[in-house]
């Protein structure tokens, strides 16, 4: 049985609400490393949207999330019938 990788979650991760839509922003990397950060957004319907790219800092990941919301609106995460990859 394979061990589940332990993750370090950013302090910037958490719920984000705009325009009556709430999503969970998860920013994480392998625990105990200085590796790049990964980001996922989980919708109210539990759809998972993953970014293909990684980020040198958790702040850069969160800034990318904010830029996506500013550019496309938070409903962009709800528009697709299939979870998307950014």
Q: What is the pLDDT of residue 34?
A: 94
Question: Which residues contact residue 65 at a Cβ distance below 8 angstroms, ignoring those fewer than 6 apart?
Answer: 16, 25, 39, 41
Q: What is the pLDDT of residue 78?
A: 87
Q: Which two tokens stand for residue 67?
A: 């830029």
Evaluate whether 48 touches 73 at the Cβ level (below 8 Å): no
**Is 80 exceeded by the pLDDT of residue 1?**
no
């Amino acid at each position: 049985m394979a061990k589940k990788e332990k993750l370090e979650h950013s302090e910037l991760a958490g719920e984000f609400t705009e325009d009556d839509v709430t999503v969970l922003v998860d920013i994480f990397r392998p625990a105990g490393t200085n590796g790049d950060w990964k980001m996922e957004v989980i919708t109210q319907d539990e759809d998972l949207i993953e970014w293909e790219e990684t980020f040198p800092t958790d702040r850069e990941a969160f800034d990318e999330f904010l830029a996506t919301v500013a550019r496309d609106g938070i409903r962009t995460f709800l528009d697709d019938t299939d979870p998307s990859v950014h």
